[in-house]
């Protein structure tokens, strides 16, 4: 056994027997490229803006800044993985033999990726010749011969070597996209497997805007499409099959014509097949089935399935199955492009786009979700928060985009529909562990919910257009001299105004249904008034008769009492308890309770100041449980160390670290604006995986979570650092000075 084999075998043994509890899977990124391809620049760019800990391993500098051996690189990479860090391997790695030992570092604790910097030879040679101060001293005239010689031995990496993901970069844009992808990779995030960006010699593809109508009416062609317009607005895409003797033309629409520009159009990505790793075959069946079912009922709408790559497996599967099912290609087609730039870059006008969201409805995480939030700007995040703070698998929520949003202004997108499908990725929350019976039902529900929300938007769009048309007709007749001749044309008893009356009747009907629905919901809420068990009445008894419980009450006023939590979940944990009879939980709080809520909040802040004067290292949150286990509204004032023997299970942890816990400042603001606070009472929140409240890393059990948070030095999530949700010595001092 040679040194390399011994080192790899030892590391595999450590991977198999150590760190079983790690929730974070590290990544080994093996850069593949000739000198001058930009490997070092790639590493520096990722490390300067990354969301996880990276270590660069470079053979040119492995020994205190000087060149070393491959074995030393292997040891440095293995040491970094053992510390829970990810690795960027800065070597040429152009031959399979050079990569093999590094691939073996993967396993249960590390995914192994290849990033191939496949830039043109002349670019690499030019950079190598012209650079100065290179770490390996490969520069000047000798560099050209070295680059040429190395490129002659180039063996592109394959998945069969042991890689889980291979990304090919042919130009600077591809490289920048890859850098951005790895910069955005969070501590517990995992990229989808497969080969991305590889050029296909067999496929003859011309990317561009593609026409979906197989036959265009001759008169419409003359009026709406000139020959020049058709040439500039559409092109055909030819794809050769594996036998190279059978060709298929795929025509897709640009939606650039006058006749189609006003048709409500939904562009949506494939849900759950990327980060959530849902089987493509099963997903494509569900997509086609739900589209066919929806289009049988929906009129004058279009659906567009979008993916970034023309080599997309899911696009090919869906297109083939949709054709076999004879789905009208004027109502549904697939499209290759960036879903945030469909009009500006592809000429495809879509007024509604779908976002494959995360359950928190937050930006980030990479992929479609990050791209849409980024393109829409802060307006989307604000508008989303006004409607919901979390999403359950199989459901969706439509969010109107404010006109100030860049996505609205540039692309004409009026609505974003967030939708959440099932998860088959064990590295992400709520994994179904290959339960495709349940998963298929959730995915079908997700698509149906998405299409129903789109139908509602399209219906509202149609109503507005009808009203506009009627107003235009009325103004036209009022302005004309012939209006006198047609006096009464727009009166309710005239046959020509039937359309207007029908529209008004429909609006009245919708309003009536909404009112009845609201009343029904209110009555249902009243009937659901909780019956509290005897133990759950303990706080109510203290609130109503605090004089009988002087031994536990720390402070008392006419509005509230303050006491230590009997089972504290942190070093400092007190309750500010309302004394108002009938105010049982957050759900009961209305605008008339705002003075009381503000008083309770102020009392909580004073106790935070007291605790901070004793221990300035602590940080605090003030908030309510969405669905409390004990009667009587009470505000938790809890330090964020969570150092307590009473914190024993998922329910304890998630009740204070998920959307189940509503910050006091947000509750007050929501009641001021909407008359009620949003209650995230989904029991699934309490059953979620255990994640650190600072760095969001996942952990298998409470002991390992506690061990982690005792040493975690990551900063708190940005949302907690806003709007005084998190109180610390510095924030309290700042607030007092203002």
Q: How, if at all, do strands 619-625 and 661-663 pair?
A: antiparallel
Q: Note whether 164 and 230 are same-domain residues.
A: no
Percentage of the chain exceeding pLDDT 70: 76
Secondary structure of 535-588 as H, E, C letters? HHHHHHHHHHCHHHHCCCEEEECCCEEEEECCCCCCCCEEEEEECCCCCCCHHH
Q: Residue 297 above 50 pLDDT?
A: yes
Asked whether residue 663 is domain-assigned, the answer is yes
Structure-token pair, residue 201: 């010699």
Domain around 156: 2-197
CA distances from 210 to 276, 347, 494, 684 (A): 29, 10, 47, 43
pLDDT band at 523 (very low <50, low <70, confident <90, very high): very low
In a domain, 593, yes or no: yes
Grade residue 474 by pLDDT with cuts at 50, 70 and 90.
Answer: low
* CB of 57 closer than 8 Å to CB of 144: no
Q: Average pLDDT, stretch 241-248?
A: 35
Q: Which of 166-175, 326-335, 700-709 has the lowest mean pLDDT?
A: 326-335
Label residue 465 by pLDDT band (50, 70, 90): low
595 lies in the same domain as 486: no
Supply the CATH number for residue 13's domain.
3.40.50.300
* Helices within 545-637 (DSSP H only): 594-614
Q: Enumerate residues 6+ apart whose C-beta is below 8 A from 571.
A: 615, 618, 639, 641, 643, 644
Question: If 0-12 CB within 10 Å is exposed, 13-18 middle and 19+ buried, where does residue 645 land?
Answer: exposed
- 561 and 702 share a domain? yes
**pLDDT band for position 512 (50/70/90)?**
low
Q: Which residue has better confidence, 13 or 130?
A: 130
Q: Say how many C-beta atoms besides its own lie within 10 A of residue 737's C-beta.
A: 6
Q: Which of 13-22, 215-224, 249-258, 603-612 has the highest mean pLDDT?
A: 603-612
Specify whether the CB–CB gap between 395 and 424 falls below 8 A.
no
Per-residue confidence (pLDDT) for residue 492, from 0 to 100: 39
Grouping H, G, I as helix, E, B as strand and the rest as coil, residue 514 is helix
pLDDT digits (tens, 9 = 90+) for 327-363: 887 789 888 889 999 888 877 889 999 999 988 888 8
End-to-end CA distance of the chain: 69
- Alpha-carbon distance of 494 to 490, in angstroms, equals 7
User: How much is the pLDDT for 285?
Assistant: 94
Task: Examine the domain organization and report whether 458 and 599 are in the same domain.
Answer: no
- Verify that 448 and 471 share a domain, yes or no: no
Q: Which of 167, 163, 32, 153 is nearest to 88 (CA)?
A: 32
Mean pLDDT of 168-195: 85
Is residue 308 domain-shared with residue 337, that is, in the same domain? yes
Tokens of 300: 């004058």
pLDDT for the residue numbered 488: 41
Residues in the chain: 738
Residue 570's pLDDT band, with cuts at 50, 70 and 90, is: very high
The helix (run of H) or strand (run of E) holding residue 248 is strand 247-250
Q: Which of 458, 453, 497 is nearest to 474 (CA)?
A: 497
Q: Does residue 217 belong to any structural domain of this protein?
A: no
Reported pTM: 0.37
What is the mean predicted confidence (pLDDT) over 616-632? 93
pLDDT in tens, 137-158: 777 767 787 888 888 888 999 9
Tell me which residues are annotated as active site: 634
Domain count, the chain: 4
Rg, Å, the chain Cα set: 31
The lowest-confidence range among 262-271, 509-518, 536-545, 720-729 is 509-518
Residues 550, 500, single domain; the answer is no
Same domain, 692 and 716: yes
**Are 398 and 311 part of one and the same domain?**
yes
Q: Are 168 and 116 in contact (CB under 8 A)?
A: yes
Q: What is the reported pLDDT for 24?
A: 66
- Domain assignment present for residue 203? The answer is no
In this structure, are 545 and 437 located in the same domain? Answer: no
Residue 89 · residue 57 · CB < 8 Å: yes
64-91 pLDDT, tens digit each? 888 889 999 999 999 999 888 999 999 9
Same domain for 138 and 239, yes or no, is: no
Please say whether the beta carbons of 421 and 276 come within 8 A.
Answer: yes
Give the residue, 324 or 235, on which the prediction is more confident.
Answer: 324
One domain, residues 248 and 183: no
Position 202 in a domain: no
pLDDT of residue 347: 77
pLDDT at residue number 685: 86
pLDDT of residue 606: 95
């Amino acid at each position: 056994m040679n040194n390399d084999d011994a080192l790899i075998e030892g590391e595999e043994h450590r991977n198999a027997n150590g760190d079983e509890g790690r929730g974070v899977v590290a990544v080994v990124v093996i850069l593949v490229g000739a000198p001058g391809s930009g490997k070092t620049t790639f590493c520096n760019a990722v490390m300067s803006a990354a969301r996880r800990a990276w270590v660069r391993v470079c053979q040119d500098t492995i020994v205190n800044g000087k060149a070393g051996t491959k074995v030393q690189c292997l040891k440095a990479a293995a040491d970094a993985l053992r510390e829970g860090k990810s690795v960027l391997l800065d070597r040429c790695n152009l031959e399979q033999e050079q990569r093999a030992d590094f691939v073996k570092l993967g396993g249960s604790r590390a995914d192994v990726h290849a990033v191939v910097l496949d830039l043109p030879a002349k670019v690499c040679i030019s950079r190598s010749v012209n650079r100065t101060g290179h770490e390996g001293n490969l520069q000047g005239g000798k560099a050209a011969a070295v680059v040429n010689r190395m490129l002659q031995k180039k063996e592109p990496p394959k998945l069969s070597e042991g890689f889980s993901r291979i990304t090919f970069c042919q130009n600077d844009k591809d490289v920048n996209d890859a850098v951005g992808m790895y910069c955005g990779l969070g501590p517990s995030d995992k990229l989808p497997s497969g080969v991305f960006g590889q050029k296909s010699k067999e496929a003859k593809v011309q990317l561009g805007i593609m026409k979906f109508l197989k036959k265009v009416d001759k008169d419409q062609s003359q009026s709406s499409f000139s020959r020049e317009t058709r040439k500039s607005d559409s092109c055909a895409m030819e794809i050769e099959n594996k036998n190279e003797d059978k060709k298929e033309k795929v025509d897709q629409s640009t939606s650039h014509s006058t006749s189609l520009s006003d048709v409500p159009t939904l562009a949506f990505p494939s849900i759950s097949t990327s980060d959530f790793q849902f089987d493509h075959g099963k997903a494509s069946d569900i997509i086609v089935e739900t589209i066919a079912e929806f289009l049988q009922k929906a009129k004058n709408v279009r659906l567009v399935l979008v993916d970034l790559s023309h080599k997309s497996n899911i696009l090919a599967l869906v297109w083939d199955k949709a054709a076999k099912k004879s789905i009208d290609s004027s109502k549904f087609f697939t499209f290759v492009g960036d879903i945030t730039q469909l009009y500006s870059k592809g000429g495809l006008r879509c007024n509604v786009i779908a976002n494959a969201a995360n359950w928190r409805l937050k930006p980030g995480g990479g992929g479609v979700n990050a791209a849409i939030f980024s393109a829409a700007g802060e307006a989307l995040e604000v508008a989303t928060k006004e409607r919901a703070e979390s999403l359950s698998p199989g459901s969706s929520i439509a969010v109107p985009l404010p006109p100030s949003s860049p996505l609205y202004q540039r692309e004409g997108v009026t609505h974003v529909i967030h939708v959440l499908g099932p998860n088959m990725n064990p590295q992400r929350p709520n994994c179904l562990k290959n339960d495709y019976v349940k998963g298929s039902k959730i995915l079908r529900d997700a698509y149906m919910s998405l299409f129903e929300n789109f139908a509602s938007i399209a219906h509202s769009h149609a109503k507005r257009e009808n009203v506009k048309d009627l107003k235009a007709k009325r103004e036209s007749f009022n302005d004309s001299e012939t209006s006198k001749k047609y006096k009464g044309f727009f009166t309710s008893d005239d046959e020509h105004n039937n359309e207007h009356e029908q529209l008004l009747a429909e609006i009245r009907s919708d309003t009536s249904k909404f009112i009845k629905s609201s009343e029904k919901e209110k009555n249902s809420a009243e009937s659901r008034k909780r019956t509290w068990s005897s133990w759950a009445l303990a706080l109510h008894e203290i609130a109503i008769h605090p004089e009988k419980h002087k031994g536990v009450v720390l402070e008392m006023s006419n509005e509230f009492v303050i006491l230590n939590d009997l089972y504290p979940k942190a070093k400092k944990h007190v309750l500010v308890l309302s004394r108002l009879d009938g105010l049982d939980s957050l759900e009961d709080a209305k605008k008339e309770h705002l003075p009381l809520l503000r008083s309770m909040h102020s009392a909580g802040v004073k106790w935070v100041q007291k605790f901070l004067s004793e221990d300035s290292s602590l940080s605090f949150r003030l908030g309510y449980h969405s669905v409390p286990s004990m009667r009587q509204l009470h505000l938790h004032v809890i330090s964020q160390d969570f150092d307590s023997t009473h914190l024993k299970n998922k329910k304890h942890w998630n009740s204070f670290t998920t959307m189940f816990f509503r910050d006091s400042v947000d509750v007050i603001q929501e009641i001021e604006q909407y008359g009620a606070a949003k209650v995230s009472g989904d029991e699934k929140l309490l059953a979620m995986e255990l994640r650190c409240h600072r760095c969001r890393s996942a952990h298998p059990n409470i002991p390992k979570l506690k061990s982690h948070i005792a040493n975690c030095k990551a900063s708190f999530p940005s949302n907690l650092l806003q709007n005084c949700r998190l109180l610390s010595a510095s924030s309290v001092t700042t607030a007092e000075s203002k």
